[in-house]
Each structure stands twice: as C-alpha cells, then as structure tokens.
Structure 1
Amino acid sequence: MSRAIGFLVYPGFQLLDATGPIAAFEIAGRLSPGAYSLHFLSLRGGLVPSTSGMVVQTKALAEAPPLDTLLVAGGDAVKVPASCPETLAFVRAAGRQARRVASVCSGTYVLAEAGLLDGKRATTHWSPTKAFQRRYPNIRLEPDRI
C-alpha cells in the first residue's frame, strides 16, 4: 500500500518549495516502487499558479485522500492560506491524522496559524523571524537552525 503525500499549494506558492520535496519522494519511489502516491492539493482544486507563473493541477482539499504526510509549500502569498478558515481546518485535521506534517520555508506560517507548532521548535525563512516570534510567542523559533 502506498503512502499518500499531500503538497498544499496556493496561488503564489514558491515552486521550488513543492518540487524539491517532490523530487526526493520521486527518487525514493524509484528505490521502492509504489511506496508513495503524490498529490497536489489546494482549497478548491484546479490549476494553481506559482510565483514563476508555472501552474500545477490540484485536487480540492475536500477530495484529498487520507494522508501519511502533509507538506505545506512556502511563498510570498502564504498569508492567504494562513488566514483561510477552511485551509486551517484541513491542516489541523491533518495534524491529528497524518503521520507527519511539515512545511518548507514560509509555509511554517500556515502550521503556526493552525496551532500545530505551539510549544514546539520550528524554523522558517530568515527574513521574517522577528515578526514570526512576535506573532507566535508559544513557538520556540530557531532562526539559525539551517
């Protein structure tokens, strides 16, 4: 049985934040064929443009399979999903049900807003670390971790 890996994207996501991890799962899949099924997810589904203008076909959050792992992509527009009640509810549910929930770069804002990082260590893009610490004082931010 394959493990479902969901990549949460939104208009204005950073393409590398999704394709980098996808490449890692693709290579792992070569070593263990059928181990992973990869799913691009967005609030409503359909075509979602990245910051580069490239678009990806997505499934609506409501159509997502049960996930083993949810990965939230970062990007300049990350405040949109971080302020969307439906998206945050989905991320919270994934936090309860999935084996892993992670983010790349500023995707950390979505996890923080959903409350999944309270009391935990986290890192994010270096540029907004002071603002992040002010907004989420219950998260132990490690700005120089990577």
Structure 2
Amino acid sequence: MAPAPHRVAVLIRPGFIPFELGIPHRIFGIARDAAHRPLYEVVTCTPGGPGLVRSDSDVLVQVEHGPEALETAGTVVVPASHTSGPDGADDGLTDEVAAALARIRPGTRLMSICTGAFVLAEAGLLDGRPATTHWSESDRFRRRYPRVRLDPDVLYTDDGDVLTSAGVASGVDLCLHVLGRDHGAAVAQDVARRTVVPPHRDGGQAQYIRHPVPATDPDAGDGPGTAATRAWALDRLDEPLTLAALARHAAMSVRTFTRRFRDETGESPAQWLTQQRVERARTLLETTDLSLEQVARRCGFGTAQSMRAHVQAALGVTPSAYRRTFRRAA
C-alpha cells in the first residue's frame, strides 16, 4: 500500500501575495512518484477560520480550512503579508497567528517565503538559527531579531526542520530544494521542467541589490569632507586610484582621509572603490556588448580574471552569469 501523501499546510493572512500562495501549491502539488501518485497534499488555511481572505490586490480567496489544518501537517509554509503592519510591512505575529502556530505538532517542518520569516522570528522559532528574508527588509529584520543569524545574500536557508527563503520568487527555489531533499534530484528536476523554471539558480539575492552613491553626505562633523573626492574618483574608476592619490585630492593626510572617509561612508576607501567598480561593471554588463576584458578595464579591475573574482565575491555569480540574467534587450 502506497504511503499517504505528505501534508503541506500554507498559512495565509490578509494581505497575502497570490503568487506566493501559488508557489507551494504548484511545486508540491504537481510532484508525483514513479507510479504517478501525488507525493504531497497541499491545503490552504487561515488563523481565523474558514472564509474569504483578501490578498494585497483585488484577489479574494475562499479558504476552506482554519488553524486546525496545522495540527495534521507535516510541513507548514508561511508566506508574506503586506498589510499586517505599519506602511504595509509584515510585522509578523498577532495573537491569532500565535494561537494558530501553537497548534503545530513538534517536529513539523516550518518554511517561510519572503517576509513570512518575520512570523517565525517573532515566535522565537528562528533564534540561533540561520535565516533570510527579502533584502529590502533585512536591516529591519536584523534590528528586530538580533538573535537570528540573518544572511541577506542567499536565496534560501536550510536548517533541517526550519527553512526560510528570500524575496517572493525565491520561494520557488526553496520549494524545489525541499522537493529534491525529500524525493531526489530527478523528481525536483521534473517539476522544474514542467513549471518552466531552472531547478537551481546561480548566486543569491546580492545580485539583485543596488548600492547607489548617496547624493549628499550624512553629518560628518566639523572640517572638510570626502564627497568631492568620491565624485572625482567616480569619474576615474578606470584609473589606478591609490589611497595616497585620494588623500592628496582631498588635501588631507592619508590617516585623516581614511578616518574621515570611514566616518562618512562606513567603509574603507578600498572597500568603497571596489563596490563602485562592481556597480560600474554591473551597468556595463547589463547595457553594453563590451567584452569582459573591456568591461574590466573600464571599471578599473584591469583584467577579466580580477573582475570575475570581485564580482563573484560581491554578487555570488560570475560576470558572464550576471550578464545572461540581466542583459537588456537592444
């Protein structure tokens, strides 16, 4: 006799994102064994009981299950909600949600999509564990939950029975990862092909985050600042900009310039230059057909090999992979 399908309960709240609700239903819902029997049963539930739940758009969903569905689930998925907190932020746990989570059996696998991680963190379920969330909320998450080992650069984290994913579509990556963990790569690859998504994406969130240069400086205290020198350097990224040359332009000693620079930017001059060169490389990779060697020279990396090392360290992908993902059509 075939084993019963593994039960996945998706816990949604008002303001849920329809796409995120669809991810576990699609990925787990179409997974089949060799005899074409379903491997999972996916149900949707709400903390407040059956009824209509409004999404963050004009979509309303009639949910048939209340929190009691969590009591029989082998896996619980918590997607984001965009209207539960101030300014539409997902602030996690309400009394109703806390009561629903209390119904989950010990040993149940927990998963979050996007800022659904705030729910797990607020409940104390991520303390001491690795986790991620949408990159735009990572600073707020870190301030609020300092006991969580947040990694804002990855697409998902797997700590055995607790898993988290980054922004929205990374829920697909996480569900495919879990599918492969449960039933092997062949099953995960089959679902990925049928869903027309890659079974594994290179890199993490870092490649989607922009680091613009501030238009104005924060209060840097008394004395001259380094903004003019930073603007000067941005026009000369293709040149070998030494610390001595930067300090000389700012009319400061190297020691004073380094201290002032870190006070104003939070980084050393070398770190800042590398970040700006990576940003320039991203722009050229997205918008031009220049060869990798040409891009490297225009950014001040010198060689394609040097640029590859810096881009991979900053973004988690090679320049070639980044270009394939983000190259704009002419």
TM-score normalised to structure 2 length? 0.41
Partner of residue 12 from structure 1, selected from 1, 15, 23:
15
Partner of residue 84 from structure 1, selected from 94, 101, 105:
94
The yes-or-no answer on 1:62 pairing with 2:68 is: yes
Partner of residue 118 from structure 2, selected from 104, 109, 132:
109
Contact 1:6 1:38 in 2 (8 A): yes
Compared CA separation, residues 39 and 3, structure 1 to 2 (3 A)? same
Greater relative contact order: 1 or 2 (C-alpha under 8 angstroms, separation 6 or more)? 1
Residue in 1 aligned with 2:54?
Answer: 49
The yes-or-no answer on 1:96 pairing with 2:106 is: yes
Compared CA separation, residues 33 and 78, structure 1 to 2 (3 A)? farther
Compared CA separation, residues 95 and 135, structure 1 to 2 (3 A)? farther
TM-score normalised to structure 1 length? 0.87
Residue in 1 aligned with 2:42?
Answer: 38
The yes-or-no answer on 1:73 pairing with 2:79 is: yes
Contact 2:16 2:82 in 1 (8 A): yes
Q: Secondary structure at the match of 1:89?
A: helix
Compared CA separation, residues 39 and 101, structure 1 to 2 (3 A)? same
CA RMSD of aligned residues (A): 2.1
Deviation at 1:21, TM superposition (A): 2.0
Contact 1:13 1:78 in 2 (8 A): no
CA offsets per residue over residues 54-80 of structure 1, 9 Å max, x none? 222221113545110000011312547
Q: Secondary structure at the match of 2:53?
A: strand
Contact 2:30 2:38 in 1 (8 A): no
In the alignment, the residues of structure 2 paired with residue 116 and residue 131 of structure 1 have an alpha-carbon distance, to the nearest angstrom, of: 18
Equivalent position amino acid for 2:43 in 1: H
Which structure has the larger Rg?
A: 2
Contact 1:8 1:40 in 2 (8 A): yes
Mind listing any 5+ residue stretches in structure 1 that lack a counterpart?
A: none
Equivalent position amino acid for 1:135 in 2: R
Contact 2:29 2:41 in 1 (8 A): no
Contact 2:71 2:103 in 1 (8 A): no
Q: Secondary structure at the match of 1:108?
A: helix
Deviation at 1:87, TM superposition (A): 1.3
Deviation at 1:94, TM superposition (A): 2.3
Identical positions, percent = 34
Contact 1:121 1:140 in 2 (8 A): yes
Deviation at 1:95, TM superposition (A): 6.4
In the alignment, the residues of structure 2 paired with residue 52 and residue 130 of structure 1 have an alpha-carbon distance, to the nearest angstrom, of: 26
The structure where helix makes up a greater share of residues is 2
In the alignment, the residues of structure 1 paired with residue 84 and residue 74 of structure 2 have an alpha-carbon distance, to the nearest angstrom, of: 23
Q: Secondary structure at the match of 2:76?
A: strand
Q: Secondary structure at the match of 2:52?
A: strand
